[in-house]
Amino acid sequence: MKHRVDLTTWNRREHFAFFSTFDEPFFGLVAPVDCTQARAEARRLGVSFFLYYLYHSLQAANQVPEFRTRIENGEVYQYDQIHASATIGRADHTFGFSFIELHDALPDFVAAATAEIAAVQASTGLRLNDTTGRPDVVHCSAIPWVRFSGLTHARSFRHPDSCPKISYGQTYEENGRLWLPVAVNVHHGLADGYHVGQFLAAFQQGLNGGVEGRKAGG
């Protein structure tokens, strides 16, 4: 479900009006998160590390209202819940888009995501459709071959887009800890660096076994 934001009383109305005139209204940053405990927990549970951190990333995104806010036909809406549209790789090194629904419990999320990944890998082409292209998603991609420190996205400026984009890079060890680079790009009319910081803090809490982590572990 979504709710229309009243632009006349919205505290971001001038920010929205200002950045919406830009050819490129998105901004992004890259930050590392500590996934030492998260990888160990994923191994203990016997689940994919990718799906484990994707679950916590999506849980964190839902905690930040600005990450659930979208621009549709010039109006601003806030969704009660958002999901993931992740790029899924295939054996021939192409990829397809997916729709991975958020579930409160980690086992339910993993089961649904695993089925969707299998469907993508058995298909061809991009799989761009009304489901994978719906607005109540975060666009996610894993780039496990590259320890990146910066990232840009291919975008069509003619196509209206306000979905946050989160990319996960190659893990690396430093000072006895395992780190995951995370790139976050958001529409500046809807969110600022403060909100990206909120997301990263919530993501780190989940990876550390916070409230979401305890729920995920059953």
Catalytic residues, which ones? Answer: 188
d(CA 185, CA 166): 6
> Please, which residues bridge with residue 139 across strands?
85, 165
d(CA 87, CA 159): 19
Alpha carbon 105 to chain centroid distance?
18
Residue found by looking up tokens 């800890």 in the block: 177
3 state DSSP class of 119: helix
Pairing mode of beta strands 26-34, 177-187: antiparallel
